[in-house]
Amino acid sequence: MTGHDYLILGGFSVEAIFWLGAYALIIRHAFREKIHGMPVVAMCGNIAWEFILGLGLFPACPVYWADCPDAVMGPVTLFAALLDAFILYTIIRFGRDQFRHVRFLHRYFPFLVLLGVASAFVVIYGIMHDMYTLNLYGAEIDGQIPVFLQAGLQGGLYTGWGLALLMGLLFIALLISRGDVRGQSFYIALFMLLGNVGAFLFDIFAARQAPAILYTLVVLSLTVNLIYVVLVYRRTREVGLAPLRHW
């Protein structure tokens, strides 16, 4: 591997460390406070995306990174998906009580959550398989450099950042709707932000030339993440807790 490859791997390491840390804290708060910490819709998309790449339905390594260590990227992504499975369990176990005011949702909550995961899987996989994007990075496939590539072969670039933006918005909505910080913390918000910064570094170092839509999604996602950090910090202080001590 070259020095440039290590820069790419460094970006992925930052992404993995902080997102896995955020997942671990979400699970910790869920069991400690008996309430789920990840919005249901966000979890459905997230777990589907990670299992698609983690199970190798599309490569966790984007085809434009020739020296990508698949032995590292695939297992780490699959491990993240398994942590998401624990988060899914906390949602099914504790989430139903949050919907007592809607009889249908409360009664069929576990089934609806699993249906949401299955639907997200089908939609995201379909986008990765059926959507073709310009091969801006000159990736070689079977000895040729095609003009277009399946979205999934680009490492879930577009779907990943689309989910990142959606998750950021849904976490803010969850914080506002609850009016407190149960299931959430300043460090979860901070780790999500830093994890997405790492994802941005990975994409920029690996791709070298990125489409405008990617920068748009990145800027929007990181802006929303930063807003969420500030909101969680303020709300934590408002409820009488010390943000930096509330792990």
What is the chain's Cα-based Rg? 18
Decide if 125 is inside a domain: yes
- Each residue of 49-61: pLDDT tens digit? 999 999 999 988 8
Decide if 247 is inside a domain: no
Query: What is the per-residue pLDDT for 127?
Result: 94
Decide if 89 is inside a domain: yes
Q: Is the pLDDT of residue 211 over 80?
A: no
Q: Which domain holds residue 27?
A: 3-238
In this structure, are residues 141 and 63 in contact, taking their beta carbons and an 8 Å threshold?
A: yes
Decide if 244 is inside a domain: no
What pTM was computed for the model? 0.93
- If you average pLDDT over residues 168-194, what whole number do you get? 96
Task: Please tell me the distance from the alpha carbon of residue 96 to that of residue 94, in angstroms, as a whole number.
Answer: 6
- Each residue of 225-234: pLDDT tens digit? 999 999 999 9
Decide if 215 is inside a domain: yes
Decide if 243 is inside a domain: no
- If you average pLDDT over residues 30-35, what whole number do you get? 95
Task: Please tell me the distance from the alpha carbon of residue 127 to that of residue 227, in angstroms, as a whole number.
Answer: 29
Dihedrals φ, ψ of 185, to 5°?
A: -160, 165
Task: Please tell me the distance from the alpha carbon of residue 95 to that of residue 163, in angstroms, as a whole number.
Answer: 21
Q: Is the pLDDT of residue 91 over 70?
A: yes
Give whole-number Cα distances, 13 to 5, 167, 207, 243, in Å. Answer: 12, 21, 16, 26
Query: What is the per-residue pLDDT for 208?
Result: 63
- If you average pLDDT over residues 16-29, what whole number do you get? 97
Decide if 41 is inside a domain: yes
- If you average pLDDT over residues 210-235, what whole number do you get? 93
Decide if 245 is inside a domain: no
Give long-range contacts, CB 8 A cutoff, 24+ apart: 220-224: 220/165, 221/161, 221/164, 221/165, 221/168, 221/196, 222/193, 222/196, 222/197, 224/165, 224/168, 224/169, 224/172
* Encoded tokens for 110: 């576990």
Higher pLDDT, 47 or 158: 47
Query: What is the per-residue pLDDT for 193?
Result: 98
What is the percentage of the chain residues whose pLDDT exceeds 70? 98
Q: Is the pLDDT of residue 183 over 80?
A: yes
Domain count, the chain: 1
The neighbour count for residue 13, using CB atoms within 10 Å, is 16
Give long-range contacts, CB 8 A cutoff, 24+ apart: 76-81: 76/12, 76/16, 77/50, 77/53, 78/50, 78/51, 78/54, 79/20, 79/54, 80/16, 80/19, 80/20, 80/23, 80/50, 80/54, 81/47, 81/50, 81/51, 81/54, 81/55
- Among 137-151, 155-169, 223-237, the minimum mean pLDDT is found in 137-151
Cα within 13 Å of Cα(39), Cβ side: 18
Higher pLDDT, 140 or 236: 236
Task: Please tell me the distance from the alpha carbon of residue 3 to that of residue 190, in angstroms, as a whole number.
Answer: 29
Q: Is the pLDDT of residue 128 over 70?
A: yes
Q: Match 């089908």 to its residue by tokens.
A: 122
- Mapped onto helix, strand or coil, the DSSP state of residue 200 is helix
CA proximity to 45, closest of 127, 134, 154, 130 = 127
